[in-house]
Amino acid sequence: MTDAVLVVNSGSTSLKFGAYGTSNVEDPPLLCRGGVDSMAGDPHFIAKEPDGKPIDAHEWGSGHALSHKEALGYIVQWLEQHEANIKVVAAGHRVVLGGTRFEGPAKITPEVLDYLDGLSAMEPSHQPFNVRGARAIAEAFPGLPQVAVFDTSFHRTMPEVAQIYALPKAVRDTGVRHWGYHGISYDYISRQVPKVAPGARRVIVAHLGGGASVCAMLDGRSVETSMAFAGLTGLPMATRSGDVPADVIFYLLRSAGYTAEALEKLLYGQSGLLGLSGDSADMRVLQDSAAADDKLAVDYFVTSLVKFIGAYAAVLGGLDALVFTAGIGENSAKVRAAVLERLSTFGLTLDPAANAANGPRITTADSAVAAFVIPTNEELMIAQHTLALTRSA
């Protein structure tokens, strides 16, 4: 019998899971991963080996709907029956918002879930569904220890000025704060940086995936980050706009016939790389395209990154290391090269061959500032925190 931690990323109509062994708290081994998609009408389950080889699949058929409780019940039962004697001993959840209360991972209780659900109005795209996943497990497996690991808590170390907006106190007191996101990824990267760049104190990390943000870290702690209140702003992303001035939003609401719902759809789902290019949200397509609008999208993305990195280097009082991570950061040599070329004034000298090979170090040996590619692993970070918190119980 192998004890396992179940890592859950619960969305509105899909669930992702990873099962990790408990033998090594520092580096829990991945046993398998998978998920259930299209839970609202055509659910299908898939499980894969750590190397991506399919192990099993199941379909319920179109017209069938699965609740979160049913889908998670199926996953746990499948793990315990199909996968070489796994016993699920704890569950760790990705939860986007930890609010002002949580500066690190937290053990889940009914009261904690009520608090986290109370934050859903601020971040309706993920938060209510993250909470729903944890509630479903609490109902289906009462007594199973559960831990919430937050995207925001890594950024609670930012100075107060980086966590607020220039709004009246009464508004700030309602919870309108610069929360910062991708914190589970930044937490993971902050633990990898000393391995490749010992002694680097002033580090900027660019998490460039479907969602994208930049984080300035001093001694491994967040001091500034670009993604703000509900994951819309900062860098342009696959379909999210990134920074758009608030006065543009007033104009669209007042004079261009937009409702709040239509505006939300525009800014979250039709903007960013997709909005600029008009044809694709995928950097793999855009970076190799000769079409003018595709080039514009890549240029806007790179320019935004350069602006944030320059600003954050100033905030940090200099730069010791720059790190690229997530889908674009780990795989797009073209984006990394374009960014580094424009940052040569900061002492970054690209090593084209190392960059083409995706690093790990992509600057020359004599580059004053080093840049790296470090693959992120949010799921492993959640497994580690869950094990640490449930072991200490």
Annotated active-site positions, please? 151
One of 5, 19, 298, 326 touching ligand ADP (CB under 6 A): 326
One of 58, 82, 191, 284 touching ligand ADP (CB under 6 A): 284
Cα of first residue to Cα of last residue in the chain, in angstroms, is 22
Q: In this structure, how many other beta carbons lie within 10 angstroms of the beta carbon of residue 77?
A: 12
One of 8, 283, 374, 381 touching ligand ADP (CB under 6 A): 283
Q: In this structure, how many other beta carbons lie within 10 angstroms of the beta carbon of residue 240?
A: 26
- Distance from C-alpha of 236 to C-alpha of 272, rounded to nearest angstrom: 5
3-state secondary structure of 385: helix
Phi/psi of residue 390, nearest 5 degrees: -85, -30
Task: Check whether 208 is labelled as a binding-site residue.
Answer: yes
Task: Check whether 33 is labelled as a binding-site residue.
Answer: no
One of 282, 289, 337, 347 touching ligand ADP (CB under 6 A): 282
Q: What is the dihedral of CA 111, 116, 120, 126, to 10 degrees?
A: -130
One of 153, 241, 332, 363 touching ligand ADP (CB under 6 A): 332
Task: Check whether 317 is labelled as a binding-site residue.
Answer: no
174-213 residues in contact with ligand ADP (CB under 6 A) are 209-211
328 binds ligand ADP (CB under 6 A): yes
3-state secondary structure of 226: coil
Q: Which residues is 88 bridged to in the sheet? A: 4
Q: Among the candidate windows 79-87, 135-143, 254-262, 277-285, which touches ligand ADP by CB under 6 A?
A: 277-285
CB of 199 to ligand ADP, least distance (A): 29
- Distance from C-alpha of 130 to C-alpha of 140, rounded to nearest angstrom: 16
Q: How far is CA 221 from the centre of its chain?
A: 17
3-state secondary structure of 110: helix
Q: Which residue, 113 or 381, has its beta carbon nearer to ligand ADP?
A: 381
CB of 93 to ligand ADP, least distance (A): 17
- CB closest to ligand ADP, residue no: 327
Task: Check whether 16 is labelled as a binding-site residue.
Answer: yes
Q: Which residue, 108 or 281, has its beta carbon nearer to ligand ADP?
A: 281
Here the tokens at position 248 are 């543009």
286-315 residues in contact with ligand ADP (CB under 6 A) are 287
The position carrying tokens 């879930």 is 113
Instruction: Output the known binding site.
Output: 9, 16, 94, 207-211, 282-284, 327-331, 378
Binding site for ligand ADP (CB under 6 A): 209-211, 238, 282-284, 287, 326-328, 331-332
